Amino acid sequence: MAALSSAAVTVPSFSRAAVAPRSSSSRLVVRASFSKACGAAAVAVAASAMLAGGAMAQDVLLGADGGVLVFEPNDFSVKAGETITFKNNAGFPHNIVFDEDAVPSGVDVAKISQEEYLNAPGETFSVTLTVPGTYGFYCEPHAGAGMVGKVTVN
């Protein structure tokens, strides 16, 4: 799931439209290049989509809004090099420990885990995984309650 906090889109202006002089019948004629305006709008929409696509990241809540001890979402995929941000939501303290038996070969879990507890509401931990494969992770104090997750890196 991607989150886009803001994007700028330029909407074409028709302020340069040609206005014909008034005739005796009081008709107003406006000439504007509709195809040019549509083209500019299409370019702006495409640029926004590319901008959003390049900023892909995965946000994961630590604890559900109702207080359930889970990662939300608990099973997701990212592309190699995308950032995953874990955010304290409810039922803390939490940590994020990658299971050494459930990561791709050669990955050092000490370098990607956050074993220190996140204690404050809204506190975050971000990690960028670059080796494709499946990564299992858990919250140490709440694993027994089912606070476990899995990310697949493509």
Is the Cβ–Cβ distance between 138 and 101 less than 8 Å? no
Annotated catalytic residue, options 1, 38, 56, 142: 142
Pairs from 101-106 (Cβ < 8 Å, separation ≥ 24): 101/136, 102/134, 102/135, 102/136, 102/137, 102/150, 103/133, 103/134, 103/135, 103/136, 104/131, 104/132, 104/133, 104/134, 104/135, 104/153, 106/131
DSSP tag of 111: H
Active site residue 142: yes
Active site residue 56: no
Annotated catalytic residue, options 38, 50, 56, 94: 94
Active site residue 38: no
Annotated catalytic residue, options 38, 50, 56, 147: 147
Alpha helices in the chain (DSSP H): 34-54, 109-112
Active site residue 50: no
Residues with catalytic roles: 94, 139, 142, 147
